[in-house]
Amino acid sequence: MLKNTTEILKVINEHAQLKKLNEIVCEFDARVFVIGGFVRDIILKRPSKDIDIVTDADAHALAKIVASHYGIQKIHHYKRYGTAAFKANGIHYEFVTARKESYQQTSRNPIVTPSNFEDDILRRDFTINTLAIELRQPKFALKDSLNGLSDLQHQILKTPSHPDKTFYDDPLRMLRAARFACTLNFTIQEHCFEHIKKNSARIKIVKQERITDELQKIIASPQPSKGLYILDKTGILEYVFPELTRLKGVDRIQNVGHKDNFIHTLKVLDNVAEKSSHIWLRWAALLHDIAKPQTKRFSPTNGWTFHGHEDLGSKMVKPIFERLKLPLDGALSYVEKLVRLHLRPIPLTQENTSDSALRRLLFDAGEHIDDLLLLCHCDITSKNEKKVSRFRENLKALKLKLEHLEQRDHIKNFQPPIRGTEIIDFLKIKPSKQVGDIKKKIKDAILDGLIENNKESALAYLKKIAVDRKVD
């Protein structure tokens, strides 16, 4: 973070994009300000690809002037809100006519009336996003009438207006508070936190796509658990992700308890976040134990068990993705697979594990075997450091075994060495279920190590099948 006003002014006055914008808007006869996240991120030394510009005059006219200098013809106009936007050189520019906003109880879409810059900053979500730089000036100055710089330096999230009004009017701001808290590692002011709790049920009026966008940003953050704990403590999580809240708590029978699967899940998610930015691997971590509440059983002999939670959990992934409007393509099948397989590697770390079992894991996990092993590594959250160290060393040894086996047998991206048409021609049979059964027999023979994974061995095995079945 830039440390003081002198340093900030030096950086903004030397900033190439600001200087370019300043040259362009000089021909515009009205006040023009760069505001919000772009200014905040300059001070925090973070990259930003969004520039928000506010003017007391016509934002559409200003957007046309700026766009023409970048050779952009297509501008998106939103007359209802007095905004215009376009992309140039990888930067998203949004222009807003300074305004006041009022809201109806059933919608977060504002009714807007033109106003001035001083009123406009009061409708912003947090004071750290009210910082602005006025253009059309020989020297830039930081506009900070709401002490946003002090809050930025103290890493505090506060609202420019009363928090009850801020969060009631636009409930999405409550999710944004959780998101900024974990992406910037800031603290939500206690007064604001209490009003998020008070207004948590208002999140129900927000469109799912906007909720999911914020959830994605929380999950993609350096420490996702921070944002999710905030959503839980404020009561919002129950509305946006009830399956997660059902993981909370510890049951105890005959003085035997189980771990809190909510705390465990968020720890696993943070563990994955430390090692990978892969968003869908993080989702797999978040959902890996999602079916434990439904599969929880207690027996005096074995204590608490969650048998089958991996299979049921895998089946729960699609309905969750559908409700959250997450992609139902490769991302879905990837998460389903990792949830279904997340218990498989640990038992295979034993020394007497057969090559056949290892081949079947390679076959089932396919190209995602490394991600699966990483998830297993991160799933070890015991407080017993010796136990954790032993399990992780065993997983490293398993990974080496699998790599050696893959180099020899090429199972990970398995393709049948002979096609169904070749089986039909070789055995002189008609297309039928029998062809699929024979292909499965050949695959199983390869995975069991009975034959090598090549065409010659498969054809020899096919001849044996023919003799056994007296087909030839």
Domain presence at residue 415: no
Residue that finishes a domain, picked among 152, 184, 206: 152
Number of domains in the chain: 2
pLDDT of residue 198: 97
The answer to whether residue 50 is domain-embedded is yes
Tokens of 132: 């602005």
CA 445 – CA 417 distance, rounded (Å): 12
- 170 touches 124 (CB < 8 A): no
Tokens describing residue 28:
């515009």
Q: For the domain that residue 95 is a member of, what is the CATH number?
A: 3.30.460.10
**Per DSSP, which regions of 56-98 are E strands?**
76-78, 83-88, 91-97
CA distance 214 to 226: 14
- Domain boundary, last residue among 126, 152, 178: 152
Q: Pairing between strand 32-35 and 303-305?
A: unpaired
Beta bridge partners of 389: none
Q: Which of 152, 169, 186 is the last residue of a domain?
A: 152
* Token duo for residue 96: 């807003």
Predicted confidence pLDDT, tens digits, the chain (472 residues): 887 888 998 999 899 999 999 999 988 889 999 999 999 999 999 999 999 999 999 999 999 999 999 999 999 998 878 899 999 999 999 999 999 887 777 787 777 788 899 999 999 999 999 999 999 888 898 999 999 999 999 999 999 999 999 999 999 999 999 999 999 999 999 999 999 999 999 999 999 999 999 999 999 999 999 999 999 999 999 999 999 999 999 998 888 888 999 999 999 999 999 999 999 999 999 999 999 999 999 998 889 999 999 999 999 999 999 999 999 999 999 999 999 999 999 999 988 899 999 999 999 999 999 999 999 999 999 888 888 899 899 999 999 999 999 998 888 888 888 888 888 888 888 888 888 888 888 888 889 888 888 888 888 888 887 777 654 4
Instruction: Write down the pLDDT at residue 471.
Output: 45
- Residue 388 identity: V
Contact 167, 178 (CB under 8 A): no
In a domain, 439, yes or no: yes
What's the token pair of residue 143? 């506009």
Choose among 30, 2, 28, 29: nearest CA to 15.
2
Distance CA 179, CA 303 (A): 38
pLDDT (0 to 100) of residue 469: 64
Residue 18 located in a structural domain: yes
Residue 254, domain member (yes or no): no
Cβ atoms of residues 111 and 103 within 8 Å: yes
- Distance between CA atoms of residues 395 and 14, nearest Å: 51
Residue 172 lies in a domain: no
For Cα atoms 49, 51, 54, give the angle at the middle one, nearest 5 degrees: 170
Token couple for 405: 């086996």
- 200 in a structural domain: no
Q: What is the pLDDT of residue 380?
A: 93
Q: How far apart are CA 371 and CA 380, in angstroms?
A: 15
In a domain, residue 241? The reply is: no
Helix, strand, coil % over all residues of the chain, rounded to 5: 55, 10, 35
Q: Could you tell me the residue range of the domain that residue 436 belongs to?
A: 420-469
- Residues listed for the chain: 472
Other beta carbons less than 10 A from residue 395's beta carbon? 20
Angle, helices 261-275 vs 369-378, to 10°: value is 130
The helix (run of H) or strand (run of E) holding residue 460 is: helix 455-469
Res 119: pLDDT? 93
